Amino acid sequence: MRVVLTTWGTRGDVEPLAGLAVGLRDLGAQVRVCAPPDDDFVTLLARAGVPLVPMGPSVRSVVANPKPPTAQDALRLAPELVAARFETLTAAAEGCDVLLATGLMPVGARDVAEALGIGYVYGCCQIFGLPSRYFSPGARPGTPSPQDETDKRVLWEQDAQRVNALYGEPLNSHRAALGLPPVDNVRDHVYTGRPWLAADPTLCPSQGMTDLDLVQTGAWILPDDRPLPRDLEAFLDAGEPPVYVGYGSMAAHAPADAARVAIEAARAHGRRLVLARGWAGLVAADDAGDCVVVGEVNQQALFRRVAAVVHHGGAGTTTAAARAGAPQVIAPQIADQPYWASRVAALGIGVVHHGRTPTVESMSAAFDTVLRPEVRAHARVTADLVRADGATVAAKLLLDRFGR
């Protein structure tokens, strides 16, 4: 069986596909991944031994700017991504049995599969963007809903209209060129009636949360057996478990003065600190020996050795910390991050930092709670509930449904 997987987004979008690709390969399938050409993702997929087909502009060129992307940036990017999918995926999916798409609204992926006569699956890593009677849609470029509108059915209809405004014209233009009929509701066309949810059911319970026929496989986790760098190992061995602080691919959205705030708050609790550089380029506030700055490392190994994990609330980091039994402080910035923060708090395995910009006082108050023994105990119990076989489950489903 031949499978093409595709996404456009940050590491949190690319790494799950690498995990699924490994799961498929282990079951005998041939897999390739169409993803952004960022060096980070080239390295990641090479480590997984999965061929990368570069698609679209680099993500870092779009998001790692001093200011967050604007609505006008989104209007320019949308047709570019649609065109890239029709061009790149059509060639990459030739001779394949199924195309699975995730990430930033993968408009064009289903249409390429339709034109080639192969299977199509839409996958997501959280329920935040799926129409629901229980929660409202998130922010999206376009005409906002009236502030006094509370009917969730109406709000989701207006969300679909915003997606149409972003993607409708370029999508239907490409469909017409292939002799395919136009699409009226782009969002629901992309999602299909049966999307797959690549999230752990303990961390992300989904029963009844959407009217769609959701298939929850568990998180698609890429196994990581890399040793930690020697200097990091030495730092960890030299004292009590430190606090980890990192904001991943959040560049423009990373809290101001995040490094200094975290270091001073950790020191107030007698804790050392591991600071992840990330796309925000965090650096130590001084040259004291109680802080070490790291680049991309094995989080699965590192998180088992820290006192707490402070992060932005991405699905991947939340899951990695939960699997490791590490208490979490989440300072959510955008998109689904408030949802993951709320789940961590509800499970008693961490706290939410309310407010996008932590201060030394507010972060120190979060440490007051998250460093308590009972939070660590809850985190360790929850770690045993978080499944690691989601990629295998999804791979078997793909083989059973689309294998020749």
From first to last of its 404 residues, the chain has per-residue pLDDT tens of 999 999 999 999 999 999 999 999 999 999 999 999 999 999 999 999 999 999 999 998 887 766 767 778 888 999 999 999 999 999 999 999 999 999 999 999 999 999 999 999 999 999 988 999 999 998 888 999 999 999 999 999 999 999 999 999 999 999 999 999 999 999 999 999 999 999 999 999 998 899 899 999 999 999 999 999 999 999 999 999 999 999 887 755 677 688 899 999 999 999 999 999 988 888 888 888 999 999 999 999 999 999 999 999 999 999 999 999 999 999 998 889 999 999 999 999 999 998 878 899 999 999 999 999 999 999 999 999 999 999 999 999 999 999 86
Number of domains comprising the chain: 2
The token pair that represents 149 in the structure block:
């509108």
pTM score, whole prediction: 0.95
pLDDT of 266 reads 95
Task: Indicate if 341 and 254 belong to the same structural domain.
Answer: yes
Query: Beta strand 328-330 with 308-311: parallel, antiparallel or unpaired?
Result: parallel
Task: Indicate if 196 and 300 belong to the same structural domain.
Answer: no
Task: Indicate if 277 and 377 belong to the same structural domain.
Answer: yes
Domain that holds residue 350: 230-383
Residues facing residue 52 across a β-bridge: 33
pLDDT of 68 reads 67
Task: Indicate if 34 and 170 belong to the same structural domain.
Answer: yes
Task: Indicate if 267 and 371 belong to the same structural domain.
Answer: yes
DSSP 8-state symbol, 358: -
Task: Indicate if 144 and 289 belong to the same structural domain.
Answer: no
Task: Indicate if 261 and 145 belong to the same structural domain.
Answer: no
Task: Indicate if 194 and 273 belong to the same structural domain.
Answer: no
C-alpha 254/C-alpha 258 separation (Å) is 7
Task: Indicate if 110 and 251 belong to the same structural domain.
Answer: no
Task: Indicate if 140 and 266 belong to the same structural domain.
Answer: no
DSSP string, 120-174: EEEEES-STTS--SSS-----SSSPPPTT---HHHHHHHHHHHHHHHHHHHHHHH
Task: Indicate if 327 and 361 belong to the same structural domain.
Answer: yes
Provide the CA 10 distance to its chain's centre, in angstroms.
7
* Sequence-distant (≥ 6) Cβ neighbours of residue 44 within 8 angstroms: 11, 14, 15, 18, 222
Phi, psi (rounded to 5 degrees) for 101: -125, 140
DSSP string, 191-244: H-SS-EE-S-TTTS--TTSSSS--EE----PPP--PPPPHHHHHHHHTSS--EE
Residues facing residue 123 across a β-bridge: 196
CATH of the domain at 16: 3.40.50.2000
DSSP 8-state symbol, 275: E
CA dihedral 250→256→262→267, nearest 10 degrees, is 160
Task: Indicate if 393 and 361 belong to the same structural domain.
Answer: no
